[in-house]
Amino acid sequence: MNSKPSITDLLRTNIKNIKPYSTARDEYSGIALVNLDANENSYGSIDGSNNHRYPDPYQSQLKQIISEIKQIPQNQIFLGNGSDEGIDLLYTAFCNPGVDNAIICPPTYGMYKVSADTNDVQCIEVSLTQDFELDVPAILAYVNENTKLIWLCSPNNPTGNLLKREDILTILQNFNGIVVIDEAYIDFASEKSWISEIELFPNLVVLQTFSKAWGLANIRLGMMFASAEIIAVINKIKLPYNISGLVQEYALQILTAHTSKKDEMVQEILVERAKLAKDILLIPGVHSLYPSDANFILVTMDNAHEAYTYLVEKGIIVRDRSKIKLCENSLRITVGTAQENKFLLTTLTQFYSL
Ligand SMILES: *Cc1c(COP(=O)(O)O)cnc(C)c1O
């Protein structure tokens, strides 16, 4: 194996020497008697609330507790406005627009491509195999000198499966750029996170989110874990106050009080997932379903698009993936409450008895 280029070598040219905006908070972060440095409203907030000061730009309190939960130092954590902010910042950090490219493995999460397009970065698409595994030889064959990022989603959206560890390992060992593993659904999976391998692989970035297992999609909080060097770069290019103080306080409170509740909810969802998977296969018209390590199932059925339309008419919205390569005639269905799943099953049964 050749020795890997340094992270600095991989960075987009203009990012290498960029000087970040220095916030008032960066220049003085102690507790002062009088704060007249940030042009905040010294009289308070219009509603009498305590929102007149800028928040901590690096969310240290929140990161401290996330650091304990995830067993990784604070300087290896970046928090974003959803994982989607992290995805976008990785393009900004590593890809020269119009020059560099990234590899994605469809069918997969749509934002890797959308974010590539908005950053004018070419996306090389290397399809998953028929059984939704990585085509490792093809991926490595498509890598060229301008390939900076490889996006791996595990468990994958919309297929629901974990990607094989040894495949990911082969890519990490043989690719000189950045390998991003999106673990949005890892809490529902039967394998552990890649976070603990970050020490071994300086080119590994792991994304997680509070939107799924934690049930906090509305607060928009995503996590990125990587080497301190990569996180330092991302911190330099992020918007100064990217996580509002309200979200920081809210998340802090949840993480101190309700951590075990997350595991309980996950267990409940897993039980319902198994039930839904078993029951949906009994419906005539439903063919097969791929084993899921996430909080959704991908189901193949007769006339999937028509079934989708029928469900919509009855007030049930699922994700129509039937036009996507390798997902022909498939719908992606989020595991709902027991009652919602029952309604879905009855309605789908109705459709096939028409
Ligand atoms: C839902 C999802 C996310 C979460 O995005 P947020 O911006 O954190 O809400 C990330 N990646 C994948 C693959 C997802 O399905």
Nearest Cα neighbor of 227 from 78, 60, 95, 15 is 78
Q: Which of 90, 111, 225 is the pocket-test mutation for ligand 1 (most atoms within 8 Å of CB)?
A: 111
CB of 76 closer than 6 angstroms to any ligand 1 atom: no
- The closest of 100, 127, 128, 105 to 116, measured between CA atoms, is 100
Cα 221 to ligand 1 centre (Å): 10
Helix (H, G, I), strand (E, B) or coil at 32: coil
Quote the CA–CA distance of 152 and 137 in Å, as a whole number. 15
Share of the chain above pLDDT 90, in %: 93
Contact call for residues 234 and 224 (beta carbons, < 8 A) = yes
First-last CA distance in the chain: 60
Give me the mean pLDDT over the 90-109 stretch: 98
- Residue pLDDT, tens place only, 10-69: 999 999 999 888 888 888 888 889 999 999 999 999 999 999 999 999 999 999 999 999
pLDDT for 274-293, tens place per residue? Answer: 999 999 999 999 999 999 99
Is residue 153 lining ligand 1, measured as CB closer than 6 Å?
yes
For helices 304-313 and 338-352, angle between their N-to-C axes, nearest 10 degrees: 120
- Can you tell me which residue has the tokens 């552990």? 192
Q: State whether the beta carbon of 213 lies less than 6 angstroms from ligand 1.
A: no
Partner residues linked to 77 by β-bridges:
225
Q: Of 204-218, 250-264, 267-281, 299-313, give the lowest mean pLDDT range.
A: 250-264
Whether the pLDDT of residue 1 is over 70: the answer is no
Q: What is the mean pLDDT of the chain?
A: 96
Amino acid at 8: T
Q: How far apart are CA 81 and CA 251, in angstroms?
A: 13
pTM: 0.96
Determine the distance separating the centroid of ligand 1 and the alpha carbon of 222, expressed in angstroms. Answer: 8
At 282-326, the pLDDT tens digits run 999 999 999 999 999 999 999 999 999 999 999 999 999 999 999
pLDDT at residue number 2: 53
> Ligand 1 test: best mutation among 114, 132, 152, 182, most atoms within 8 Å of CB?
182
